[in-house]
Copies of this chain bind each other. A is one copy, B any other.
């Protein structure tokens, strides 16, 4: 039996996206956002939605660029902290000791210690309501060398990203490997032989 929860922003899983930007003085900032994800394969694009009140909102509008640093689970406390205090009040790189690395592709910094990074140039800005959606073209993905699989791609089981559950607001790690995409579905009896 299903219960009606009401029109809430509950969707599992959500990512923990650490958005890196420079302000107009060139000071690096990061904030954590959960409203976002890949939105197009070609050009490769990713969205992140932010409130206008955030420091990062103005930075993206001005610099037309941002990075997304994906935290591993061991950095879940810092990830939460990045979403709780504003770059207007705090230098979040200084307070955590993380390293702001300047992207060579866009005018934005990323978190050197985090395992996976997307470097994005702003393509579109779309007003929805309380949140503004930024669509960025992914110009490069960078990952720690030791987290790559034999195919040269980052292995999610090694990256160990933080998984966010909106609504209740809880962080989880990733668990067991369940199977390969575009493969295990063939085990369904009626999968066509073609």
* Chain A interfacial positions (CB closer than 8 Å to B): 1-15, 17, 34-47, 49, 68, 70, 73, 76-85, 89-90, 95-96, 116-118, 123-124, 126, 128-131, 133, 135, 137-145, 148-149, 151-157, 159, 161-192
Contact = CB atoms under 8 A, between A and B. Distances in A.
Given A5-B153, A10-B141, A12-B70, A181 B171 contact: yes
A91 B31 CA distance: 44
A80 B181 contact: yes
Closest 10 CB pairs of A and B: A80-B185, A175-B175, A81-B185, A156-B165, A169-B181, A95-B190, A173-B175, A12-B161, A37-B37, A40-B128
B175 A172 contact: yes
A41 to B, nearest CB: 5
Given A156-B163, A163-B175, 6 more contacts: A3-B152, A81-B186, A124-B126, A124-B128, A170-B179, A173-B176
A149 B35 CA distance: 23
A96 B188 contact: yes
A172 B187 contact: no
10 contacts: A6-B140, A12-B159, A42-B131, A77-B188, A83-B181, A154-B167, A156-B168, A156-B172, A169-B182, A171-B184
Given A138-B9, A142-B4, A40 B153 contact: no
A42 B141 CA distance: 31
B177 A174 contact: no
A168 B191 contact: no
Contacts of A185: 77-85
B141 A45 contact: no
Nearest to A146: B1
Contact of A157 (B118, B161, B172, B174): B172
Contacts of A68: 11
